[in-house]
Amino acid sequence: MTGLNEIVRREYPSGRERVLLATDALVESPNFSPDGANLYFNSRGSLFRMPAEGGRAERVDTGFAKKLNNDHGISPDGRYLALSDSTQTGKSCIYLVDAGGGEPRRLTAEVPSWWHGWSPDSAAIAYTAVRGGEFCICICDIGHGRETRMIGGPGHYDGPDFTPDGEWIWFNSDRGGSMQLWRMRIDGSAARAMTADERVNWFPHPSPDGKTILYLSYGPGVAGHPRDLDVELRAMPAGGGKPETLVALFGGQGSINVPPWSPDSATFAYVRYGRTDSGANSEESR
């Protein structure tokens, strides 16, 4: 373990790993382009792109948006980047930018809103929001900007991500008393807890082949989703079942906030933080 923050590419299920980037800057939330050629990640309020096999990272032009948090992702058709940024609104707002970069187009009328997933047909996004003082999960049609509240209420709702068949949305919530993984139909019905253990579970990500759910797991009693803790990346069958710990790491917030799978489901990318007293990981992303 070094004092540097690392973007790591891990093969699944073999577990072979390769460090693609090591830096003393805070880096967060790597996700793949739809063709698998590039990785996108955020750092210091900007979005960066680098080859998925490693190499030089370049800043993506996001126009006026200079206060990006770690909730971003490229549409399955490769046309758009969804960004969550607070430059003009003071709280996180979701914008669309052409995949090559450019001036953002505002998508969500209300704030705060944090992007988390694209629908498989690239027609809609799923995101976490606060509306009327309550956390909720919403869907927005990118063509018309119509927001539909799917589920919410007292407590916390976060991390929505579509299944590749477009029929379900996975998310995490403490609606059952502790933070666990849940699944619901895309109309918000049939919500069901998919984990029920002593750990604190966040950010479920279905693999593109629909077989596996990858998620971030904190130890018992952890509040929220902080950075710089001993955590685990776990996997479980998409239909439910016993989870498997894939890797234990020093991480948390920013490790896998957004969909991290390669398009072929053969690898995923994550951030492992260095154990350091330098304050490199003190930046807040939410």
- Tens-digit pLDDT profile for residues 118-161: 999 999 999 999 999 999 999 999 999 999 999 999 999 999 99
The answer to whether the peptide bond before residue 13 is cis (omega within 30 degrees of 0) is: yes
Tell whether 260 is covered by a domain: yes
- Tens-digit pLDDT profile for residues 147-205: 999 999 999 999 999 999 999 999 999 999 999 999 999 999 999 999 999 999 999 99
Average pLDDT on 78-95 reads 98
Tell whether 234 is covered by a domain: yes
- Answer for the pair 12, 235: CB distance below 8 angstroms, yes or no: yes
Q: Count CA within 13 A, CB hemisphere, residue 36.
A: 10
- Answer for the pair 170, 204: CB distance below 8 angstroms, yes or no: yes
Tell whether 286 is covered by a domain: no
Tell whether 279 is covered by a domain: no
What is the domain extent for residue 203? 5-272
Q: Is the dihedral of CA 166, 202, 234, 283 positive or negative?
A: positive
- The predicted structure's pLDDT at residue 182: 98
Number of domains in the chain: 1
- Answer for the pair 184, 200: CB distance below 8 angstroms, yes or no: no
Tell whether 61 is covered by a domain: yes
Amino acid in the structure at residue 125: I
- In b/e form, how buried is each residue of 213-236, taking b as 16+ CB within 10 angstroms? bbbbbbeeebeebebbeebbbbbb
CA-based nearest residue to 80, from 70, 63, 95, 65: 95
Tell whether 96 is covered by a domain: yes
In this structure, the chain runs to a length of 286
Tell whether 229 is covered by a domain: yes
- CATH code of the domain covering residue 260: 2.120.10.30
Tell whether 278 is covered by a domain: no
